Amino acid sequence: MKLLKISIAAVAAITLATSASADEVKPKRELKGDMTEVYNVLPKNAESLAEAFTGGMFYGRLRMNAFNWDYKAEDTATNKDHSSLGLGGSMVYKTAPLAGLSATAGLYYSDSPFEGIREDNADAGIVKAGKDAFSRYDVQQTGNWSMASLAQAYLQYDISKTTFKGGRQIFESFLTASNDTKMIPNTFEGYVVEIKDVPQTTIRGAYFYAQKLRDHTTFHDVLTYKDSTGNSWNNNDDSGVHQGLTFARLQAVGKEDNALIITDISNKSIENLLANVTYGSVPGLVSSLTGELNYMIALPAGFSLTPGARYMKQMDKGAGKIGGASLSGSLAGIKGTSGGYKDASSLDSSLAMARLVLTQGPLKAQIAYSAVADEGDIVAPWRGFPTGGYTRAMGQLNWRANTKTKAAEVQYDFGKAKIIPGFSAMARYAMQDFDASKQAAGVQADSNILHIDLAQKVATGLEAKVRVGLVSADERVSGGDKDSYNEYRFEINYLF
């Protein structure tokens, strides 16, 4: 709670210090509400190789993230109250394009230097949201609480309206995201092509052979859980990873090295209608096909109403037989009905959701609903979040089998409304109905979540944010409240 008090005091001071002119000048780069980066100024075309480098641009970032986690029932080996703090930043360099060819490199750093705030080395594993400020594997192996990573390093070639990229890069899509809300973004290693030559249409294809999660210093397999020694922190250990797809099990069938293939199409040919189709596949294990439609309806007085719907069909290509239907991995090698799942060895599944979004100037309000089929869990450990933008609340994983979620959200930009310069707020409330019969297989209890974000732009490039997540959950069928907690985060970003 000490970190929370510091956070609130800091935001109050920042708010009072803000001037009306602070947001008038746009920086070279700025952050959207979901913390994705927007480049407002890019290097101009070069005429020579020397000019490609001298005409390049640096994009700097200093940042701080503080976390405090408070369990309602602190009564187990893993449910322990804790705090975490990350200090660091990044430097991204982009060369000037020469005959369509350019390069980008991004070096990132994070440190948790204060022993009085961070946990002991032996307790690094109990940290939840704050774990992305350090590498649990590095702490375990060497006691090192700092991270340095060349998370971006790619070549880019542009011709007409087509772009090719090869190397380490950020790729924002339905399945993948930088999810850069901590210290270092989630990035991928591979190849991407983006085509905009067809009017009102964007076509993209990506082939990724490695991924680096936010709390890792090295790139690793896109799906495999645990490494060859059985260490669960040295491969894909995302909160949504399928823990049944271990290195040992995948190696036994020659699938320990995998790639993630994504193709998506976005079309705006019909006025006010945005249509998206995404195909994702880890060949030989699992694939999915997702369609989404959003149609904006203009209303009087500057209001607009946008109904949207998304449907995801997941197809098991062998992963279910290896790791089981549950993301917990508890059903690996089991056939038939087990753990509340109708077919314990199948990952065939689907996910449907819908929303209504009302906007007017500084106001955005929405209600949404999602439902996962009573089949296998949804496999998506690439930080894209299948229910993102609809019903997912902060830190929640609501795409387990037979989970139904209702959510309501309100955002208001007080700066845009000329009430408080640079200040914006968001409140989201989600009611999650999990399948109690699947708790033995690792599914949590029903819960209600209140998620609040308060953001203040202090000056050009400088922003502070407080995030609060209050989770009230039922007791597990086996007894005990393992899923109720309060989470507090405070973040400062300075872009230069």
pLDDT of the chain, 496 residues: tens digit per residue: 444 444 444 444 444 344 333 445 678 999 998 888 999 999 999 999 999 999 999 999 999 999 999 999 876 767 899 999 999 999 999 999 999 999 999 999 999 999 989 999 999 999 999 999 999 999 999 999 999 999 999 999 999 999 999 999 999 999 999 999 999 999 999 999 999 999 999 999 999 999 999 999 999 999 999 999 999 999 999 999 999 999 999 999 999 999 999 999 999 999 999 999 999 999 999 999 999 999 999 999 999 999 999 999 999 999 999 999 999 999 999 999 999 999 999 999 999 999 999 999 999 999 999 999 999 999 999 999 999 999 999 999 999 999 999 999 999 999 999 999 999 999 999 999 999 999 999 999 999 999 999 999 999 999 999 999 999 999 999 888 999 999 999 999 999 9
- Residue 406 sits in a domain of what CATH number? 2.40.160.10
Range of the domain at 286: 2-495
Question: Quick one: tokens of 6?
Answer: 């510091």
Cα distances (angstroms) measured from residue 165 to each of 185, 195, 206: 18, 12, 9
Q: In whole angstroms, give the CA distance from residue 237 to residue 211.
A: 11
Closest by CA position to 467, among listed 448, 446, 450, 485: 450
Tell me which residue has tokens 């507090």. 488
> Which pLDDT score, from 0 to 100, does residue 78 have?
72
Q: In whole angstroms, give the CA distance from residue 330 to residue 402.
A: 17
**What sign has the CA pseudo-torsion 206, 210, 214, 217?**
negative
Q: How many domains does the chain have?
A: 1
For 365, residues 6+ apart whose C-beta sits below 8 A from its C-beta are 357, 358, 359, 408, 409, 410, 411
> Which pLDDT score, from 0 to 100, does residue 26 have?
74
- Say if CB 147 and CB 183 are below 8 A apart: yes
Closest by CA position to 401, among listed 419, 421, 375, 426: 375
> Which pLDDT score, from 0 to 100, does residue 5 have?
47
Q: What's this model's pTM, rounded to 2 decimal places? A: 0.92
Q: String of b and e for 404-442 (b: at least 16 CB within 10 Å)?
A: bbbbebebbbbbeeeeebbbbbbebbbebebbbebbbbb
